[in-house]
A and B are shown apart, each in its own frame.
Chain A
Amino acid sequence: DQQVKQNSPSLSVQEGRISILNCDYTNSMFDYFLWYKKYPAEGPTFLISISSIKDKNEDGRFTVFLNKSAKHLSLHIVPSQPGDSAVYFCAASANTGNQFYFGTGTSLTVIP
Chain B
Amino acid sequence: KAGVTQTPRYLIKTRGQQVTLSCSPISGHRSVSWYQQTPGQGLQFLFEYFSETQRNKGNFPGRFSGRQFSNSRSEMNVSTLELGDSALYLCASSLDALGTEAFFGQGTRLTVV
Contact = CB atoms under 8 A, between A and B. Distances in A.
A97 B104 contact: no
Chain B interface, >50% SS class:
strand
Contact of A94 (B31, B42, B99): B99
Bin chain B's interface residue count. Answer: 20 to 34
Chain A interface, >50% SS class:
loop
Bin chain A's interface residue count. Answer: 20 to 34
A96 B104 CA distance: 19
Contact of A99 (B6, B45, B100): B45
B23 to A, nearest CB: 11
B42 A93 contact: no
Given A98-B94, A98-B97, A99-B58, A104 B48 contact: no
Interface of A: 2, 4, 6, 32, 34, 36, 41-46, 49, 51, 89, 91, 93-105
